[in-house]
């Protein structure tokens, strides 16, 4: 806690897989006090609240009346991000919104508009920006260690570790399949690492594993970045187990990013190790790094609210990820590359 400042009162909306982690992170942060957990599945809200001495509610309005928080984490199914954020903005609550920002670019804009009009902080939970290994990689690239990036690749092929909740496979609630759930991290981290936006995509998707109508369980895309870098992404959710890289990796499989430049390459085996190969230097591996990305994301949100400044990851970054993923869907539909800004002109704000 900042000396002389009371902790910010925090509530978590959605007591599912990621909401429980948000609740634990607020409870552990000296700058916050977890006061409430909301879920229409009241047993879930009650169980999460009981762990941390918070109060449980079945709806946002009841929570606002009963616990008057300052800040909220929104951890509900993706298509519910818009209506829940609108409720929070109307109540004057600062919002940390889980990724993907929303089920459509139009929803992203409506969320951004509502928070701006109310003068509220809006942060988007693109957690990979808080991986210590990726922060080191970004600093190396920005400092010129690999020279101009030329090619990048990011792969998230993971073995099923238990079925996801049913809404993940319902496009009306999720906005899409693996591209929305995981590629949204990849397109964000690639563009952020090389500091250049993705401007064109050529994508294909498959429903080959589950055959679910309209929700892909795999996808590939060729990516073109504004600075001339080219790259690819590959996401796949197997229904069989895949071997884990290491016990520390929560999603077993191949979860691997590569950035190649004129003078060096950086490889990140996600949640496991960062491998740095620079011309004229021995290979260096960074491993055993603390897995504290979500607590540090929440600390950044609390600091941004307290300091009245924009958070490090906001609506523009959240919207960009949705625009890129939705452009990959459009590319699959028409069978040609798609320019992201032609399909989704940049918002003028």
Ligand X SMILES: NC(=O)c1ccc[n+]([C@@H]2O[C@H](COP(=O)([O-])OP(=O)(O)OC[C@H]3O[C@@H](n4cnc5c(N)ncnc54)[C@H](O)[C@@H]3O)[C@@H](O)[C@H]2O)c1
Q: Which is nearer to ligand X, 80 or 303 (CB)?
A: 80
Q: What is the dihedral of CA 255, 260, 263, 268, to 10 degrees?
A: -10
Q: Which lies closer to ligand X via its Cβ, residue 169 or residue 234?
A: 169
Work out how close the CB of 226 gets to ligand X at its nearest, in angstroms, rounded to a whole number: 26
Q: Where are the alpha helices (DSSP H) in the chain?
A: 17-28, 42-52, 60-67, 81-90, 105-117, 132-142, 171-174, 178, 184-194, 293-307, 315-334, 340-343
Of 317, 265, 273, the closest CA to residue 291 belongs to 273
Q: In whole angstroms, what separates CA 227 from the centre of its chain?
A: 24
Q: Does 39 bind ligand X (CB under 6 A)?
A: yes
Q: Which is nearer to ligand X, 165 or 214 (CB)?
A: 165
Q: Number of residues interacting with ligand X: please give it, by CB under 6 A.
A: 25
Cβ neighbors of 23 (< 8 A, separation 6 or more) are 12, 15, 34, 37, 48, 49, 51, 52, 54
Our finding on whether 41 is near ligand X (CB under 6 A) is yes
User: Which of the ranges 7-15, 46-54, 282-290, 316-324 carries the binding residues for ligand X, by CB under 6 A?
Assistant: 7-15
CB nearer to ligand X: pick between 149 and 253: 253
* Residue 77 binds to ligand X (criterion: CB under 6 A): yes
The answer to whether residue 149 forms part of the interface with ligand X (CB under 6 A) is: no
Name the residue nearer to ligand X (CB basis): 27 or 80. 80
Contact characters 159-178, ligand X, x per CB under 6 A? ------x-------------
Q: In the bound complex, what is the minimum distance in angstroms from residue 323's beta carbon to ligand X?
A: 17
Q: Which residue is nearest to ligand X (CB)?
A: 16
Beta strands in 171-241 (DSSP E): 198-206, 218-225, 230-237
Which is nearer to ligand X, 37 or 191 (by Cβ)?
A: 37
Determine if 18 is a binding residue for ligand X (CB under 6 A). Answer: yes
Q: Is 15 in the site for ligand X (CB under 6 A)?
A: yes
CA 125 to mean position of chain CA atoms = 5
Nearer to ligand X, 49 or 276 (CB): 49
Q: Choose the stretch contacting ligand X; rule: CB under 6 A; options: 15-23, 48-56, 234-242, 340-348.
A: 15-23
Q: Which of residues 43-62 bind ligand X (CB under 6 A)?
A: 44
Angle value at C-alpha 207, between 205 and 209, nearest 5 degrees: 125
40 near ligand X, rule: CB under 6 A: yes
**264 counts as binding ligand X under rule CB under 6 A:** no
Q: Are the CB atoms for 73 and 22 separated by under 8 Å?
A: yes
**Separation between Cα atoms, residue 119 and residue 263, nearest integer Å:** 45
In angstroms, the Cα distances linking 312 to 133, 298, 317 are 17, 11, 9
Which region holds residue 271: left if phi is over 0, alpha if psi is between -120 and 50, else beta? Answer: left
Write out the residues near ligand X by the rule CB under 6 A: 13-19, 38-41, 44, 75-78, 80, 84, 98-100, 125, 127, 165, 181
């Amino acid at each position: 806690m900042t000396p002389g400042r009371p902790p910010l009162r925090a509530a978590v909306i959605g007591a599912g897989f990621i909401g429980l982690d948000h609740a634990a992170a607020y409870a552990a942060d000296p700058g916050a006090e977890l006061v409430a957990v909301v879920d229409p599945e009241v047993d879930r809200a009650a169980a999460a609240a009981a762990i941390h001495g918070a109060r449980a509610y079945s709806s946002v309005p009841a929570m606002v009346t009963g616990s008057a928080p300052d800040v909220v984490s929104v951890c509900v199914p993706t298509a519910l991000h818009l209506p829940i954020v609108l409720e929070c903005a109307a109540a004057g609550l600062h919002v940390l919104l889980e990724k993907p920002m929303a089920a459509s670019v139009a929803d992203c804009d409506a969320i951004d508009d509502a928070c701006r009009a109310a003068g509220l902080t809006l942060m988007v939970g693109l957690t990979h920006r808080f991986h210590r290994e990726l922060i080191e990689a970004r600093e190396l690239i920005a400092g010129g260690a690999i020279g101009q990036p030329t090619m990048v690749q990011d792969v998230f092929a993971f073995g099923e570790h238990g079925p996801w909740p049913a809404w993940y496979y319902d496009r009306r609630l999720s906005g899409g399949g693996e591209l929305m759930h995981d590629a949204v991290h990849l397109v964000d981290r690639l563009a952020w690492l090389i500091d250049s936006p993705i401007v064109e995509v050529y994508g294909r998707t498959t429903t080959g594993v589950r055959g679910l109508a309209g929700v892909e369980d795999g996808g590939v895309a060729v990516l073109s970045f504004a600075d001339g870098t080219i790259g690819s992404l590959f996401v796949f959710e197997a229904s069989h187990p895949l071997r884990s890289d290491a016990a520390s990796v929560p999603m077993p499989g191949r979860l691997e990013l590569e950035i190649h430049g004129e003078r060096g390459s950086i490889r990140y085996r996600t949640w496991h190790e960062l491998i740095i190969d620079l011309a004229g230097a021995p290979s260096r591996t960074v491993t055993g790094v603390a897995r504290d990305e979500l607590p540090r994301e929440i600390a950044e949100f609390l600091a941004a609210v307290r300091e009245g400044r924009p958070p490090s990851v906001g609506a523009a970054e959240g919207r960009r990820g949705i625009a890129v993923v939705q452009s990959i869907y459009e590319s699959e539909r028409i069978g040609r590359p798609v320019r992201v800004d032609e399909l989704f002109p940049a918002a003028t704000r």
